[in-house]
Amino acid sequence: MKKCVKIVCSPQNTAIKKGFMHEFLQEYARKHSLEGHAQLLASGIVTAVVVGEKDSVDVFIDLLHRDAEKWELAGIEVEPMSKDRDYRGIFRVIE
């Protein structure tokens, strides 16, 4: 069963720690066969849409919470959403 979520990550400081977008989000998304995108907003917040098998998305979210301190995240919000576009099987980072 497919699952689609929107994730919002807030930094502890004014900016997301260097490497978070590529080294964590994109790498783990690829490893768990997820698709979607992550975008760094001007406010320093990262938004991501993650789509994949339910178990894979759940593992991805668990890893994000587990490593929140390492990446200096102040908050992580996860909300369900409906898949509104075709990501063509890849996870993109938009900077």
CA distances from 1 to 5, 27, 29, 38 (A): 13, 22, 17, 22
Prediction pTM value: 0.92
User: Domains of the chain (ranges plus CATH)?
Assistant: 2-94 (3.30.70.100)
- Structure confidence by residue, pLDDT tens digits, 25-44: 999 999 999 999 999 998 88
For residue 25, the model assigns a pLDDT of 95
- Structure confidence by residue, pLDDT tens digits, 43-82: 889 999 999 999 999 999 999 999 999 999 999 999 999 8
Per DSSP bridges, beta strands 73-80 and 91-94 are: unpaired
